[in-house]
Each structure stands twice: as structure tokens, then as C-alpha cells.
Structure 1
């Protein structure tokens, strides 16, 4: 239903209502924070910036609550509440001291747990610059397995809490990514778009770090995007491989280093020796840097639970080091923050080298490539991706249906659960088993809370009081409403910005069904057998043996269409719509998959009548066994992928069943008793879908296994392939090569594995052909030999890799190894594509459709079709057709009658002759449910007005300075360039 309305629009310099999106808790005039709060440095001296900090994992060895409250001390003596409490006390003791805090999830938990007096103490410390927030997201996110949408969301939520509570002084200036296991270029781009001045991290490849120390390039300008120009540059500081203090200078209660004893009459007096050791360390470190400024991280995991033990010793260290200046000492110690350190480097006014690639893969020694976590706990990675899908649906429906304010806390539950899940020991699969069970609990509860919101929204939009149920176990072909009801409604909600046609699949017990839309049009229905291995899953509680399949055609953008489904009595075999076939091929008019009649394996494909060799099979690597006492004895584990030799094919021949119908044709393949797959082609789709089922991975032989799917073609890609960066821009990869140093390869398999968040591609330039494989969750893979792509899908290992988690990656469920089910999408064809769209453009649109898949709600019915049609069964939140290359990345309720709106251009430069062009969208004519009253643009994370902040400017060695982000004057007809994201706070009336 399209709403007739008059659009009211005004461009305001100050917007009284919208401006409250960025309130100040205390007048900025009363504060001296940020760069204004930095201590003076001394020219000509080695200025040592001491950074007191605590790295507080949002779950790892203990759950989030256990870490916060300090319970389970036998696992780890760590209590975040005590860290914040004692740091506050110690900062108040001495205004010279500084401390930084990172994880908003913990800070907000502490904030809600304390009275106004304590809260005001924190406000005063932040306003004085003594306590500085860095990073500021809900958690310190991983950078390999995270999708850019989830990263933006968790920064937005964390920064909103800081903004609402502390105002301008609570806004971070820098990213602090000290613990993630490798760093993505897209993350640098996002930080630049957040308005940050730089990023700091500790972990980089050991060979890369050595090269950078030798060449004085540990500090650099990072080009965050190949599409967004120099505005996407970000100054980057890489530490010396650790965020811990210098050896011998950890003063935490959990450390065993000697304190500084300055009583000259004490037999344990040690000031001179301690000062000498520290001075030697700093002078050596400074010799590898371009400026006279040295950053020293004074803290570690869960440090400062008794902050006095740190600050008393740091005060002494500062006092006695600086006293040496009178004797010609070159060191000047000062309490500092990452932002102040960055400002000092900027004030040096020198030029810096530029980095254009990323920091993957990360190796900490010659046998320790941190590429296993790309895949570890693959089912958790899928659950997170599904939760993000539902979160976007939930936020959109909340905004479109104007759901009541009392539901806001329920929306926050899933927001915060997913913010925690982006943590670098959560989405990575590197926390302990019980912690993952807690992560799953948080996400499941978030699903339930958002389910209340979506049901309320759909009831309002459909003018009904019907239930709208999400079937979270559709992945194992289980959905109670569709199985127990002879009549039910299927509501397909489309979170994309364009119409989508989606094949609905639901498990059923009946043998014949009718599916009608509200106009009474009968839809084609196909019944497809559920594969036997799926039916036998131990966690599955269903008697369904078939799924109904029908096409929900042209579901409107940000809208829904409902269908009436009913069991019908029929003996006509046509109602089954699918018959087992002996033909060894499946496909449609444009694409066919051909299977070897002897082995049952995929052997080739036909594209527009041209046959291309293409084989697919499953293999596994045996995980290396070791005790981790030295690099050569490193075991394969949750973090580390270290295969013991080449891969082993699980089977040379498979059992197959082929089913064909009017809507879909598919081959059910059984490789072993623990690996099976469905290969299918829908009638109007240009890709092959591979739905794999792997597990329990057998380990009775005492050998851990890492399972891959491998696709082999006759394409010649010359050791070159491409992977996405957090689901956004594509990066070129070359086997046994790094762009910035001469690589020595000791682990030729794991050392060439890269994160695949959404896509991996190989291309034969001479033939003009390419193959892309898209996935449904974060994984890892490579193209180790010409014409091949392999993607790891599941891992089960029997030894810990010695990187801290202290558990082998057994990943069990129901008393056995965990079973994983997932999908890959093969897109093959000429590079220029078909019709008027390149193959890369088709991949982009498919990736969007799979990331934000239409969400299915099932409603049991006890009414006739005619009664059902009295409800509203179709809705679109979009008033106009927006360009195909534009996507509404975010639509969510904000505050004070506003919504938060993000639009993105989803194509890179030169990906498509047409769709890579700039696009224009009229914001005032965009939505049906509300009238736009005013619009104002913000930075990407929606915590600052665009144009009301200044980033530090940096110049590279070729003399190029960094551009500022453009402040376009084009509202309401906004323009989007390739890969550009623009964010707006929109005031609306209903």
C-alpha cells in the first residue's frame, strides 16, 4: 500500500530536535580533554609516552559476567568492576596520571551498577582528560571473520552510549585494536570514516615487523580504500609484537616483577638498576623509529585490579628517569594516551610511507600462522550471521511500524549480544567451550526479544493479532508451525532495498499443498525429499521427510508479502512435483551441472551451451600434533592452522540421488557417513548451490581433522586470486608473496590462507572466464594450485595450540563432535557477464541477497482463505525505485522522533560499466510510513555531525596530503560514489 502524503523538508543549520542526538552531559567549556589535555613534550629528548591500560576481553576463558564480577578466580583472577573502581581512585590521587579504557560493554555495565556520585567522578575524569576512551565500540572486534555491517553496528551502539553519557569528551580519537590476530584494510577504511585520526595494534607478521623495525616503518599511513581516495587514509602504529609492558616492568598484582624500591637504606634498593634496564630498552626501541617519541604500553590482560600497584611504581619510574635529565639523560617520561602520542607524531611534521594492502595472514613465528580461527566453531559463525540478518529485519520493522518505546530495551538486547559476538575471541571461535555456550545464550535471548518486536510490528502493519513465528531451525529442516498445521501463513519479509524473488523451503508432514497469494493466484509448489543425513541429525526433533518449495516472487523492498498454505487432498502424482531421476545432470536453460556416472562427483558445467571442466570434492588435512615448546612443535588448534602434510580426499566415489521438478533440480550426495551434500540449481538462478553437511568429524584414530571443499577447474589463474575484505572491497592475493616484504615460506598451505567473509574469486584472463564462490558465514581458504579454490568448512582438533585458550578445539554437541551445515554458491562464466551486467556485478547482488536474506515468518491458521484476505498481506516501506547499485545499509529507530539512515553504494570502481557509476537518491521521497521533517548528515558511526570535526592531516613520502571527508551540499538528492556510505539522522513525523 502506497501512502499519499506531503513531504516537509527543511535544511537547518541547527535542528533543535535532531541536535539532541549528540547531547553534552557537561558543557565542553568546563572540560579540557582530548588533544588539549596532553602533557607537554620536550624537543630534543626521547619522549616516552607511558600508556596505562587494561585489555579486558569480553569473554574468553570466562564468560562476560564472570570477567566483570571476578567470579571463577581459579580460571583467571580477573574482575573488571575492580579495575574501573580502583583506577578511578588512583587517578583522583594525582592529576598527572592517565588511563585509557576501551570496551564500552564493560564500561556501560559498570555505569549502570553505580550511583550518581561515582558516575560523576568518571565524568570529571573524562572531562579532564585523565581518563580517555579509545576504540569505544561495544567490544574490540576481530578483523578477519567480521562483516562490515556488524562492525559498523557495534561501533555505532558503543559510541552512542559514550555520546549520550559523556558528550564530546567521551568521543574516541583513535582505534585501539591491540589484540586481533591480523588486520583488515576495510577496518582502516571504517576508522577513517568514523572520523578517527589513527589506529594502534600489536599483532603483525613476525617477518613484516622485523622488516618494519629495520626500515623504521612501524608507523605508516594506511590507504583504507582503493575507491574512496586519500580521505580514507588512516595513520597506523604497529607495536613490537605485544601490548604488554617491557620485560621486567609489569607492576600488576598478578605479575612477579620487582617493584621499584627507592629507600636508599633498604637492602633491596634497586632504583639505579631498574632505571638502567628501562633506559636501555627505550633507547634500543627509539633507534627503530622516525621520531623522538616512543610509546610504551603499561598494562596487559585484566591489569589494574589494584591500580595502586601500577601507579605507585609508574610515578617512581617517571620521577627517577626524568631526574637523570640533570645529568644528561635523554629520556623524558610522561603519562600519555594513544591520542596524545598520535598528536606528538603529527606535530613532528615529517612524511610517512603508505601501505595499500592488509595485514593478513598473521604469523607469530615460522610455524604459527593464525589462519585456523578463520573457520573455528563454524556453527557459531553461522549463528552470528543469521542474528545479524534478523537484527536488520528487527530494526527496520521497528522503524517502519513505529513500534512503541517500551520495546526499545528488547532491541538493545540483540544489538548488545551481537556487539559482544564481534569480539576477537567470540566470532573467531577462540574462546572456551562454556564461554561459547554463554555467547549462544545471549544471542538466542536477543532473538527472542527481537521476535517480540517483529511480531508487534507485523501485527500493526497487517492489522491483525496473528502470531508471526521465526523458525530458527530451518537450517536442519525443522519448523514446528509448518509441520503441525494443515493451514498456515508464510510471510516473507525482504530487508533489501529492491524487489527480490526468493525460494521458500519449509519442512512439512503432508503430501500435497496449495500455496496462494492474497489475490488467489496459485503458486507452483514442489515437494523435495529431505536428505537422509539431515533427517538423522541428533539435534533434529521433527518427523518431516519433505520440504515444500515455492517462489515468493517480487517481494517488495523493506516490505513483506504473505501466502496462504493449505494441505490438499490429492492422489495425483503431479502434486509431488519431484521425481527421482537417473539422468546425471541438473540445471536450467542457462546453466547445467554434469555428474560423472561412475563416481557420482561433479565433473563439469555447461554455460550457455559451452562445457567447462569443474570438479568438486571434500578433503581433509590432518592437524599437526605438538607440545608447543618450540615453533617446530606447534600444534594445530583454535588459532593456528598447521596441517601435517597434503590433504586427503574423503571419497573417490559417492552415492547419489537425483530429483527434478518444475522449480528446482538437485543431487543428494553421500560422501561418507559424516559428509553429505545437496547440489542444486533453481530454474531461474544463475548459480549452483552446494549445501554441505559435515560432522561429527571422526577422531577415534587420534587424529584431528580440518575439512575443506575443493573446486578444481581448467582455468589458469597464475597463482593469483581475490578475497573480500570484511564483505566489502576485494583484495588481490598471490601465492607465496606479500606486497611489502620478501616473504620466506615455512608453512606453504596455512601461510597462503586468507579470510573469506563473503567471496573468493579466480580468473583466467586469457579465456575471459572467472569462478567465484560465495559463502553463508566467515571462512578461510585459498587457491593453492592453478584452477583450484579450496575453502575450509569445519575443524575438530585434539591438541591445544598454546596460544592461551588452554583447550583443544573439540567443539562438541549432544555428546559428539559438532555437526555443521552450510551453503556455498558457485558463480561461473565470462568476466563480462551476460546481458548488461558484469559477472562481478552479479556476484555483488547475490552477496547482498545472501547476507540479508528474506526472513520467513510462519503463522498457524484456523481460518478460511476468504477470512485471511481481510488482513493486510503486502507492504512496502519504499516509496520509490532506488538505483540498483544503492542499498539501505541501516534503517533503525534513533531518538527524539528520528531514525538513523545509512545508504551505501555497493560497487567498486570499474566493476561494471553501468553499476559502478555514481547514483542519486531522493531522501524526502524514499519511505512510505513517515514524512521527512529534517535531515542532517553524520560521520559513519553517527556520533558527530559531518563537517564539525577536524582530522589530523598526514603527508606521505611522495608529498601527498590526506584529504578531508567531503561535506556535500546535496540534501535531499544525495549522490553516492562507488563504495561510499553516507549516514543521516532523519527527523520524521508519522
Structure 2
């Protein structure tokens, strides 16, 4: 047997041996599925509930059944009811999705109930589908957060149950509003066999009905080949039961009455009606199987009502087989349906693009939610940044398990935030406030984790521990510690596996400050005015009018560097603006028009290339509507529908302009009107432009909702209707204005909204004009937003929305956010990047690095007040630290480093370039895993898993599906090489590899087992 196979076999044996009880023999999975009947249409009845993790009510209000005047729902009663009903008939099935709710329920159950539920899982009667913490949105979520919420959901399921039957095999995305290719790719990497969803564009759906293509093989990655292929099925009727067949406390449909002596006897009529429905739907299927969802939102609060009626429906429909009936009804699951379809051996069409944008009718494009609630979207992005910092620090400082509770809090809050009615901004206002509160509290919990870790890493023997504060409000130039302390230490933790630099900006008092680096040397600083509109923002609790700026250079990979800041006795008068209309450094020059006071050109000094460019803030007026017909649809939380598709400048006159130039940063402040302002800036040595925008309160005194955009135009560019957006922050997809790759699109109804796409991190255009040298312009965003290229040579990104009408898609209130008694003010940042891909072949690499280093995994700033002198601080505390022990290539990302099971670790490394991004950096690369950090060494057991870390990679076997007109290729995930050197791992473009690292003192291994494992790990013995 090969060494690594032996190693993993021993791992599996030892973990089982160490368990409190032996793993019982399970009959779950495909082996437990009902057997379809040949020659009949097999109807797979899917008993399910869709439990939103917050929407019209908060998470807890849904779980406990509170605020039933809004919605009469209590999730705890759903699970109670199902668990009571399933054992009454072994043929009954049920699927459950939202691990967040199930964990909440599980924690309140006694041992007897838990054993009863585990038996249901092992028999296949109760199956967990998808298995994430929540059913995530696919448009505005970042891949790192998607992977995290799945991984945490999987881990909690594994912790709850002593059986492999809880490992999900199916993606169940029945309610998100459009579907991302990257999400399908992630699910393939998690070893899933198929993906089911409900919402796809109504024109696309009708086309697929006609061609029998509701089911297909989705080629989910341009980089992973057949290993990314995902069988994908779109439901006929969303996720609802057939009309007239809903049996629950919230339904009013006629029950099936089989008492022959009752005047209300209706079996024949009800069965006839159901058969008629199936016959119509089966005409669109390629196999003799059809999936019928028997449930909807928060169904099965009274499960007996459902099951008693479904029992009768199955019985009386199947009895007709004796008389030539062609239907075979059975309780089933999506997994069992998929297995039956797979076994039919059918060939399928394929698809390479995604399912955005989604429209439910000609006038209803669900593209507004790409931007809805922009401040919540920004808060989520910062939450992910901080979560990665906390997880890494927990590992590097070797925090023990009793310190993990605060870490779990942020994991779970972030998992909830990925829900398709959370980060999307499509929830009621009080629910949005609850999401924000949960996230803020969890970030404070995580700060305690980070503080514990930093004290272990910084405090020298005999010195006192200190506090490490996070300045969570620097987005509005507010930080209590930096504003109030006379002396303080700034500790910058870099979560990247490469050295990086950044410019620090902190609000301070109106005095001069000096900053010393980790060696005690003075470094350059600059004082800048905080823009007047920011100083006056509602809710800003700060009197600071200036920011201190300094450059933190060469921050160590996976480590920190400390800077000491001290206020001097010299006052800092307000910086005085000049009348200059040009800001420049040694690599870039930015010029504004003398008359219009707007951006007019950007010059790349090194390439001697000038781009004629203009930038403007404009808005669309939102359509009012009563929603009584498709053409009367209002623009709302979900729907974007602009009046006459016309953009309106926020100001008809030139903005008020102020220019501030300095050695570290130069910037131009613009006030466009009383509710829109911006700052255009460049930093020393940096050749991109940063645009900081502030929008709000958006006025509604004219009784008109408004949707504000940033519009950038490149003069003379020929883009041929093409532009490019990222998919969940990973692979880049080409978009073509007024075109859909798989059906004929009619843009005449909504030419703007119908061309909007989600931007998780970036949107770009490329110049195809003669002699353009493949010029490219990119906008990088600090949060998910919507955008497009409505005219050639332009990019527009929607920043903020304030609306006065509901769009009748369920939320039941207009998107009119109020904060501090006024309309919501949002402040954000975009990076404008100009390049020539022929002259600078690494421009795509630079974009991806900027996305990651500046917007997703930026260094995290901690502030510590102190009375110590620089010398005293250096004597008592470490000012420089790196957790990285081996150099990591520049195109590699340490995606995950977190504590796992006792003293173990979960590690993910990724190649973050696509195969055609760069002629050199897109090649396969080698990465050191063994010895990457001190805690990963030769004495550890390391096993590779699938992406979700809930199965050894070598054990995963995926179902494979045939594609019309193509030769078969293996759709299995790449198998680990047993002879691979763990100090020199190979990564292919866009590949993510996941490892569980188990330490010597693992509590999950018995001592004899560990000795054997250790021998195998060190000596690589072949047995």
C-alpha cells in the first residue's frame, strides 16, 4: 500500500478508535434511496422547509416564534414536529439546510432526543442538504466568506453527529436571486455531486422549457476542467408545492379525504389533479424522473398535516398502477433524485457562463440588491478581514480551545451575514439593524481573541499585558484612542503570506505628531484635513478635523510591526488648500479640468501614457409603482428600475474643489452638492488613483427615490459593448451589453437594469481600438456593488440607493434607510487602475493583488495607549514579529489558517491567478506547507481534504455526467500524490488545496495510534 494511503488509513482508524462509541453501520446516502420503477414516471416528493436566517423577522424571532404579527413562524417547532413524525413511517423523508438553526435547536435537546435524531440521519430519513451555516447569496458574497460559512456548517454537523451520513452531497440554492459560476465551482471542490436552484431568468427558463434543458452540466470553471463540472437542475415551480397541495398551518388547501362515507370524499379528484400536474411537467424532462418540492417558506410547523396527506397521495396515486397508471410516487430527497437521473445514463447540454442577471418578468430585473444597504455590505467585508486576522492569531499564539468561544461568535455572525436576505440588503430595516448588531458584537468578541493572542506574542517576560483596540470607525474618520491619547502604539497585523506596505490614516487632535518605527527611528508624517462633509456626517462622534498619515513599510508576512505615535506641544494649523488642479508623484499625474473642476486625465509617467478620462456622480430616478402589473413595477430593495433609463448629474455646476499636496499623499476634495462629496488621491510611489466617495442623505423632498452611481468615461475607447466582472471575487467573466450567451435577450424593456451585473471586487473594460496595446481600466470596490458599461468606453458603479416604494417581492417596505434621524450617509472607496496589458503583462496580477491587499485582506490596525517611552516599550514588548518561516511565491494566497479540533489547524493555500492571466505567474507553482509556520513541522500528521474539510480528498468520489457531443473526461477532484513533498506542494492556476494539520498532543488520538502516525509521517514507511 502506498505510504500516504496507509497514513490516512491509520488516521481514520485511530480517530474512530478514540471516539466515545464505535461508528454504527449506516444505511444513509445513495444506498438508502427508494428504487425507481422502470417504465413509469418516478415522482420524487421532496419534503422540505426553507427557513430564512432572518428576513422579515430577526434570526431569533424566527427561531422562537416571536413577532408573529409579522409572520407566524417558529423554526424550533418545525424541527420538533418533523422529528416527531419521521419515525412513524420509515419511508418518510425530510431534508434540512440551515445549520445555524439546527445547531440552535440541537443545543437545547436531551440525549434521548439526540440519539433519536441521529438514528433518523443514519437511516437516510433526515438528510442535511448543502450544510452551510445559511443558504448564501451568490451575487454579492466573497468566495472566502462562502467557503468559511460552508466549512463552519460542515464542522458543526460533524461535531453534532457521530456519523459520516451528515456530509452533504448536494447544493440546494433554491432562493438566491441569480446564480454565480464560482459558487458552482466551489461546490464542485467540496465534492458535491449536483446543484439545485429555483430562480433563473424568466426568458431563460421558458427557453429551457422548450428545449428540455432545465437540467444541464455547468462547466463552472475556466481553469479546473472537468473537475469543476456540476450537474445542475432548475426546479419547475421554484420551491413550492403544486398548486392546491400545500398542507400546513399556513396553507389553506383542501386536505385529501379518503373516508368513503364522508360527503367530502375527494381522493379521485385530488389524485386526478395531481396526475394532471405531473403530466404537464414531465413533458419537459429527459428522464423518467421528476422532482416535486413539497414545502415552502417555514413549512412543517405541523408536520403531521403534511405527512398524513402525502401518505394518502402516494398510496392512492400508486394504486392506479394496477390499472395502467404511469406514475410512481415516493418520498425522496434531492440526492436520491440525482442518483436516479445519473443512473438513467442520459447525455446533457452544458453551460459556461452564469445565471446573472435574474429577471422575474420583462420589467423586474433583480439587480438593485447588488447595491442595497451599502454600509451593511461594507461592514460584512470588514468582518471577513477581521475574522481571518483573529483565526490566524489564534494559531500563531497557540491559544487553547477555551479561548475559541469568541472566535466562534464571529464565525457564526459572518455565516449569517452570507444569507441571501442579509448581505443582499433585502431584509426589513429592523432585521438589518439586528444583523449589524450581531456582527458588531462578534467583532468585539473577536477583538478579545486578538488581544489575548497579541499579548502572548508581544509581551516579554515580566511585563504587563496591554489592551489592543480596533478602530472600527475609521471609515468616518473616528477613533477614540488616537484622538484622545497623548502617546499610543499602532500595531499593524498583516494577514497575507507576503510582505506588504500601507499608508495609515488616523484622526487626531490639531497638534503635530511624531511617529517612530519598530527600530525607534522617526519616519515621515503628514497632516491632512478631514473633508468637511465627513466632519459633519450624522452620528459621527468625533471633534477631529485632521488625520495623521504615515507609511508603514514592509509589514512582515503573517506578522506585525509596531509604530509609536506621540503628540507634540506644537499646534497643527488647518492645512491650507491650494488652487492647483494637478496632483502628482514620481509615477502618476492626475489633472482636473480648469472649467468643469472634474477629472480630465491620468498620466502613467513610467509608460509615458496619458488617459483622457472623466469622472462624475450621477443618479437614476427610481420608478414609482403600485406593482399591479409588470409594467407598474416599482424600484425597490430587490428590483432596479430607473425612470426613462436616463442618468442625471448630481450637480449642474462645477463642484467646489480644494487641493492638498504633500510628500506622502496628495488629494483633491470635491463637494458636488449638499449630499455628494469625494476625494481623489494618490499616495507616494503608487501608480493608481483612489476615489473616496460620500453619498447621503439622499434627498427625497421631491418625492422621488434616487440611485446614485459613479460614472467614469475613457475618451476614444472602443470597447464593443464588452466589459468584465469578477465572480464571487475569483474568476473573471466577460459581459456583453444587450446579449445573453444562451438565449435571445430583448433589451428594449429595461436596457439599463437588464445590463447590470454584480461586482464583488472589480469591474473593467478593455480598449480594442487600433494601437491601443490592449489598454485596460479597472474599478476595484471596497464592498459588493452593482455596475455596468452602458455606453462604450464607460464604467458605472452604483454606490447608494434610497427609495420610496416597495417592489412587492416580499420585504414589504421601501428601501429608505434612516440613521441618526436622517437619511443614511454612506462613505466608501474605489481604486481606479489604468494599464496596458501588452506593455505591462502583470497588470491583471496587480489588480488581483490590489483587491486582496487593499480591499479584502488589508493589514488590521490595533491601537494601544501608553505612557512608556519608545525605549521602555521596546524593552518590554516585541515590536516586530512574523509567523511565516518560509517564503511564499507572490501569486499564492494563504486563504485559511485557523485552529481546528483540539490543537489542530486547518490550512488552505491557493494560486490566485487564472491560467491566462500572466505568461509567467499563471504557471503551476510550488508552495512550502511543511515548516510554513513554526507549528507546522515534521512531527505533525497532515492530511489533505476536500475544500469543506469534512472528508479526506482521497475518499471523495463524485457522480459523473455525460455531455452531448463530448468525449468523457474524469470529473473527479485531483487526487493527492502520495509521494508529494509537503515542503514543496504544487498549485495549479486557481487551485485551492485544504489540509488538516494534527499536532502531537491531539486529544482525538490514543497514544499508541499517535506513535504509529508519527512514525509514518516522519519516515514515510511503505507498508
TM class by shorter chain equals over 0.9
What is the aligned length?
Answer: 977
Whether the aligned pair in 2 keeps the contact of 1:396 and 1:891 (CA below 8 Å) is yes
Q: State the shift of 1:506 in Å.
A: 0.3
| Whole-Å separation in 1 of the counterparts to 2:152 and 2:13 | 17
Q: CA RMSD in A?
A: 1.7
TM-score, normalised with respect to structure 2: 0.94
Quote the offset at 1:965 in angstroms.
Answer: 1.0
Contact residue 707 and residue 792 of structure 1 kept, 8 A: yes
1:37-52 pair list within 5 angstroms: 37-52=32-47
2:393 and 2:80 mapped to 1: Cα distance? 40
Distance 2:390 2:791 in 1: 43
- Contact 1:510/1:567 (<8 A) preserved: no
Aligned ranges for residues 433-452 of structure 1 at < 5 Å? 433-452=429-448
Q: Report if the CA contact (8 A) 1:38-1:340 is conserved.
A: yes
Of 405, 421, 435, the residue aligned with 2:417 is 421
- Partner of 1:661, secondary structure, is coil
Q: 1:859 aligns with which of 847, 855, 864?
A: 864
1:12 alignment partner, SS class: helix
Which ranges in structure 1 are unaligned for 5 or more consecutive residues? 1-8
Give the aligned partner of residue 4 of structure 1: none
Say if 2:16 and 2:23, in contact at 8 Å, map to a contact too.
no
Indicate the residue corresponding to 1:753 in structure 2: 756
In the alignment, which residue of structure 2 is the partner of 1:636? 635
Residues of 2 paired with 1:84 and 1:22: CA distance? 32
Q: In structure 1, the residue corresponding to 2:498 is in which secondary structure?
A: coil
Residues in 2 aligned to 1:21 and 1:769: alpha-carbon distance in whole angstroms: 58
SS in 2 for 1:967: coil
The residue aligned with 1:729 is: 731
Aligned to 2:1018: none
Q: Matched residue of 1:581: which SS?
A: coil
Once the two structures are TM-superposed, the CA of residue 987 in structure 1 deviates from its matched residue by 2.2
Residue 29 of structure 1 deviates from its aligned partner by 4.9
Alignment of 1:956 with 2:963, yes or no, is yes
The answer to whether the 8 Å contact 1:769/1:829 transfers is yes
CA contact (8 A) 1:735 1:784 kept: yes
Do the aligned partners of 2:223 and 2:990 also contact (CA within 8 Å) in 1? yes
Aligned to 1:362: 358
Conserved in 2, the CA contact under 8 Å of 1:832 and 1:838? no
Distance 1:644 1:13 in 2: 62
Distance 1:867 1:111, change over 3 A: same
Task: Specify the alignment match of 2:1013 in structure 1.
Answer: none
CA shift digits 1:321-357 (9 cap, x unpaired): 0011111110000000000000000000111111100
- 1:581 deviation in Å? 2.2
1:35-114 alignment to 2 at 5 Å? Answer: 35-114=30-109
**Aligned equivalents of 2:331, 2:660: Cα separation in 1:** 70
Which of 913, 919, 923 in structure 2 is aligned with 1:917?
Answer: 923
User: Any conservation in 1 of the 2:655–2:672 contact (CA below 8 Å)?
Assistant: yes
CA contact (8 A) 2:140 2:758 kept: yes
> Offset of 1:568 from its aligned partner?
2.2
- Following superposition, the deviation at residue 959 of structure 1 comes to 3.3
Q: Tell me, yes or no, if structure 1 residue 656 matches structure 2 residue 657.
A: yes
What is the CA deviation profile of residues 868-913 of structure 1, one whole-angstrom value per residue up to 9, with x for unaligned ones? 1111001001112110010100000001321000000000012112
* From 841, 852, 860, the counterpart of 1:848: 852
Distance 1:30 1:606 in 2: 69
Equivalent pair of 1:194/1:940 in contact (CA under 8 Å)? yes
Q: CA deviation at 1:17?
A: 9.1
Give, in angstroms, the shift of residue 19 of structure 1: 6.5
Measured in 1, the distance between the counterparts of 2:234 and 2:186 equals 18
Question: 2-side partners of 1:301 and 1:111: how far apart?
Answer: 21
**1:693 paired to 2:690:** no
Q: Could you say which residue in structure 2 is the equivalent of 1:164?
A: 159
- Tell me, which stretches of 5 or more residues in structure 2 are unaligned? 1002-1023
Q: Spell out structure 1 runs of 4+ moving beyond 3 A.
A: 13-29, 575-579, 928-932
> Could you tell me how far apart the structure 1 residues matched to 2:410 and 2:839 are?
39
Which whole-Å deviations, capped at 9, do the CAs of 1:228-268 have from their partners, x for residues lacking one?
Answer: 11001110000125110011111111111101111122111
**After the TM superposition, which of the residue ranges 978-987 and 17-26 deviates more from structure 2?**
17-26
Aligned to 2:565: 565
Give the 3-state SS of the residue equivalent to 1:869 in structure 2.
helix
5 Å-filtered alignment, 1:537-576, equals 537-570=537-570
Q: Distance in 2 between matches of 1:262 and 1:889?
A: 58
**Whole-Å separation in 2 of the counterparts to 1:845 and 1:516:** 28
- Tell me which of 168, 172, 182 is aligned to 1:176: 172
Find the counterpart in structure 2 of residue 782 from structure 1.
788
Query: Aligned partners of 1:76, 1:19: CA distance in 2, in Å?
Result: 49
Per-residue CA deviation, residues 410-438 of structure 1 (Å, 9 max, x unaligned), is 11000000000000000100010111111
Farther-moved stretch of structure 1 (923-932 vs 88-97): 923-932
**Shift of residue 598 of structure 1?**
1.6
Equivalent position SS for 1:880: coil
Q: Could you say if the C-alpha distance between residues 465 and 929 of structure 1 is closer, same or farther in structure 2, counting changes exceeding 3 Å?
A: farther
Q: How far did residue 989 of structure 1 move?
A: 5.7
Question: In the alignment, is residue 873 of structure 1 matched against residue 879 of structure 2?
Answer: yes
In the alignment, does 2:346 pair up with 1:340? no
* d(CA) in 1 for partners of 2:489, 2:839: 38
Deviation at 1:445, TM superposition (A): 1.1
Query: Residue 946 of structure 2 aligns with which residue?
Result: 939
**Which secondary structure state, in structure 2, belongs to the residue aligned with residue 686 of structure 1?**
coil
Identify which of 886, 894, 897 aligns with 1:891.
Answer: 897
Q: TM-score, normalised by structure 1?
A: 0.97
Q: Which residue of 1 aligns with 2:1006?
A: none
Residue in structure 2 matched with residue 481 of structure 1 by the alignment = 481
Q: 1:318 matched to which residue of 2?
A: 314
Q: CA deviation at 1:14?
A: 3.7
Matched, 1:265 2:261: yes
- Quickly say closer, same or farther: Cα 1:18–1:92, change in 2 above 3 A: closer
Kindly indicate whether residue 457 of structure 2 is the aligned counterpart of residue 461 of structure 1: yes
Query: What SS class does the counterpart of residue 599 from structure 1 fall into?
Result: coil
1:828-856 deviation per Cα after TM superposition (whole angstroms, max 9, x unaligned) = 0212354xx52111101101112101100
What's the CA shift for 1:30? 2.2
Does the CA-based 8 Å contact 1:22-1:944 persist in structure 2?
no
Q: Which residue of 1 aligns with 2:144?
A: 149
Indicate conservation of the 8 Å contact 2:8/2:943, yes or no.
no
Separation in 1 of the partners of 2:656 and 2:995? 54
1:800-819 equivalences under 5 Å are: 800-819=806-825
Cα offset, 1:925, TM superposition = 2.3
Q: CA deviation at 1:10?
A: 12
| Shift of residue 647, structure 1, vs aligned partner | 1.1
Determine the structure 1 residue equivalent to 2:272.
Answer: 276
Deviation at residue 164 of structure 1 after TM alignment: 2.1
User: Aligned partners of 1:490 and 1:138: how far apart in 2?
Assistant: 35
1: distance between equivalents of 2:696 and 2:825? Answer: 4
CA distance in 1, matches of 2:521, 2:335: 63
Q: Name the counterpart of 1:3.
A: none
Q: Flag the 1:806–1:478 CA change in 2: closer, same or farther, 3 A.
A: same
Structure 1 counterpart SS, 2:780: strand
